[in-house]
Amino acid sequence: MYRLIARLATLRAEAGRDDGMNTAEYAVGTLAAVAFAGVLLKVLTSPTVQQSLTRVINEALK
Domain count along the chain: 1
Residue 59 pLDDT exceeds 70:
yes
The answer to whether position 31 is within a domain reads yes
What confidence tier does 6 reach under pLDDT thresholds 50, 70, 90? confident
Encode pLDDT of 36-55 as tens digits.
Answer: 999 999 999 999 999 999 99
What confidence tier does 61 reach under pLDDT thresholds 50, 70, 90? very high
Q: Decide: helix, strand or coil at residue 46.
A: coil
Question: Which residue segment(s) compose the domain that 46 sits in?
Answer: 18-61
How much is the pLDDT for 32? 94
In the DSSP assignment, the letter for residue 16 is T
Encode pLDDT of 12-28 as tens digits.
Answer: 666 666 666 677 888 89
Distance CA 14, CA 31 (A): 29
Distance CA 16, CA 36 (A): 33
Side-chain half-sphere exposure of 27, counting CA atoms within 13 A: 5
The answer to whether position 11 is within a domain reads no
